[in-house]
């Protein structure tokens, strides 16, 4: 769920659920980030205000261990797939521990910068970014920028 000026995801979530996709939201727990599947009527469910002011699902219900597409928050992205988030490292730790086929940021054009963002050894790159003009793929490291907007 978005915080601050992040891209609003409520409609994306509802459309995915309506299309029969399984959707899970993260919850910060003592062992790190865990994901819980939303029900079909998630808008009516009680999402709780989490530790950092982000709406989270309750820790009851269907815990998800396998994720095909991980949407990663960020406040800045570069053409190498690096990102800057809010500095807690929960998503980076999750990406290090788990094999996720595709990780994608959601952002605005102005958040994609033409220079390399500073990174620490624990930071994990994402595979793609969705912005207003289309999708940007970072998955092929031989070509740091490849627009997927024609797909």
Bridge-partner residues for 147, per DSSP?
A: 136
| pLDDT at site 144 | 43
Domains and CATH numbers, the chain: 1-65 (no CATH), 67-151 (3.40.50.10420)
Q: Is there a contact between 67 and 44 (Cβ–Cβ < 8 Å)?
A: no
Angle at 42 between CA 2 and CA 93, to 5 degrees: 45
Task: Walk along the chain (151 residues) in steps of 10 and give the mean pLDDT of each run.
Answer: 84 89 90 86 72 82 89 92 86 89 94 93 93 86 44 35
| pLDDT at site 107 | 93
**Tokens coding 142:** 């031989």
| pLDDT at site 128 | 95
DSSP one-letter code for 78: E
| pLDDT at site 31 | 82
């Amino acid at each position: 769920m978005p915080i601050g000026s992040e891209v609003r995801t409520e409609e994306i979530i509802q459309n995915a659920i309506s299309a029969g996709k399984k959707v899970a939201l993260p919850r910060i727990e003592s062992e790190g980030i865990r994901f819980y599947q939303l029900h079909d009527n998630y808008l009516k469910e009680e999402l709780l205000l989490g530790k950092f002011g982000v709406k989270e699902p309750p820790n009851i219900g269907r815990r998800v261990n396998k994720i095909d597409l991980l949407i990663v928050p960020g406040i800045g992205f570069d053409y190498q797939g690096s990102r800057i988030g809010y500095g807690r490292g929960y998503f980076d730790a999750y990406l290090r521990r788990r094999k996720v086929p595709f990780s994608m940021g959601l952002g605005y054009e102005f958040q994609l910068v033409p220079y390399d963002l500073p990174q620490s050894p624990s930071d994990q790159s994402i595979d793609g970014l969705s912005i207003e003009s289309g999708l940007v793929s970072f998955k092929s490291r031989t070509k740091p920028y490849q627009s997927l907007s024609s797909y």
